[in-house]
Structure formats: structure tokens, C-alpha cells
Amino acid sequence: DSRLKSREEYKNINFLITAGGTKEYIDPVRFISNKSSGKMGLAFCDSVKKRGGSFRLICPSSVEAHYPAVFADTAGDMLARVNDFISECDILIMAAAVADYKPKKYFSSKIKKNNGHMCVDLEKNPDILQEISGYKRKNQVFVGFAAESDNLQENALKKLKDKKLDMIVANDISRKDIGFDSLYNEVTVFFADGKVEHIGKKRKSEIAEDILNFAVNIFKNKKG
């Protein structure tokens, strides 16, 4: 029946899913992070499971994952963990919001307040997708995300190309009714072959299913 079919659809496909915002520590109790809750990444886990695929989840320990996960708090940790597991995956879903910068210096003791101002020098983090793009296998599918407040199409297309992605899921973060903290989203997906698909406002769980279907179709076509 159709329920059985849905449980088998992604059988024998291995997904690697990253979720949540990385934390870049200043001292033992303070960090720089971002608004990503990890909900979108977890929605991918749910739908992969529902369709009988297997996945490995990599996320910061603060993400309330109802799945076993490999923890990676910082961008540096996440790069290392993605490197550990990338070769065994067919489809990478890079939903994590990786911090672009980290504090230049980590203070191993808690910083005390003083009477003057306080400066935190930042340096660039590695770009995980960029780093792994060099050894992407022909039959792997890499899916990236782009949260944009302006020039959505132009920025998303540049990331698609620079990071050698098969597809990029772009959402407009200037919209208050969707995205961060919301169960809903609305996205535009740009594909490496030039195709564009808009997914109108709906639950993140439903958006995850649409995106996975696109990715699995690309994977099946690559495999031939």
C-alpha cells in the first residue's frame, strides 16, 4: 500500500544532516551565536526517517534533537565532524547556520568586567561547504541553504556556484511571519542546472519533504 511505499522510498540512501547555529566561545561561559534553532534540520531527520532512509545528524549539543547526534558546537568542530562522515553519505543537507567569525582569542578563565569598554576581536571561520567541495564525489548530492535579507537570487546563485552545490534553498529573512522561531517557512530553490522552484508558505516539515524529494531525484538521476 502507499504507506509501505512511503516507508521504503529512501531505502539505501545515506543522508548527512547538519542543524542549528554554531557557538563560538569567548570564555567558558560566553559565546557568539545566531538565531538558528535547528528546527529545519530536525524536520529533515523526521522526513528521512519516515521514508526509510538512514541519516547521521551533526549539531551543537544545545539543539534539542530527539535523535542520537554527533555533537559539534563550533564551526571548527563541525568541519572536523563533517570531514569524518562525508565520505559515507549520498546526500548532504547542510542546514546548520555556521558562524562566519569566531573570537580570535579564547580566555580559559571567565573574563571579569571592568570600568571601560570591551572589545572582542574576531577572525574568519572555515567555510565547511567550500572546504569539502574539493573532494565531492560525482554521485553525491550537496544541498546548501541561504538566508538572505537582500538580493536573494543573486546571492543564492553565487553560493550555489562557489560551493559547488546541486541545489540551494534560499529564504527571505526580512519576512517576520516565517523562518527563525517559526514552524513555517517559504523558500525558493535554485538548482545547478538552472531550474528554479518556489515553495509557498507551509510547515517546515512539509518544506523538508519537498526539498528531500528534489535532492533524491537528483541523486537517482546521477546514479542512472
The least CB distance from residue 96 to ligand CTP, in Å, is: 5
Could you tell me how many residues make up the chain? 224
| Residue 14 is a catalytic residue | no
Annotated binding residue 138: no
Q: Which is nearer to ligand CTP, 52 or 76 (CB)?
A: 76
The string of DSSP letters for 159-187 reads HHHHTT-SEEEEEETT-SSSSTT-SEEEE
* Residue 181 interacts with ligand CTP (CB under 6 A): yes or no: no
Q: Which is nearer to ligand CTP, 8 or 181 (CB)?
A: 181
Q: Is the CB of residue 199 less than 8 Å from the CB of residue 186?
A: yes
Q: Is the CB of residue 141 less than 8 Å from the CB of residue 219?
A: yes
Helices and strands, number each (H, E), in the chain: 6, 12
**Binding-site residue total for Ca ion (CB under 5 A)?**
1
Q: List CB contacts of 218: < 8 A, sequence separation 6 or more.
A: 141, 166, 167, 191
* Residue 127 interacts with ligand CTP (CB under 6 A): yes or no: yes
Where is the binding site, in residues? Answer: 100, 110, 126-129, 145, 159, 163
Interface ranges with ligand CTP (CB under 6 A) = 75, 94, 96, 98, 100, 125, 127-129, 144-147, 159
Residues near Ca ion (CB under 5 A)? 100
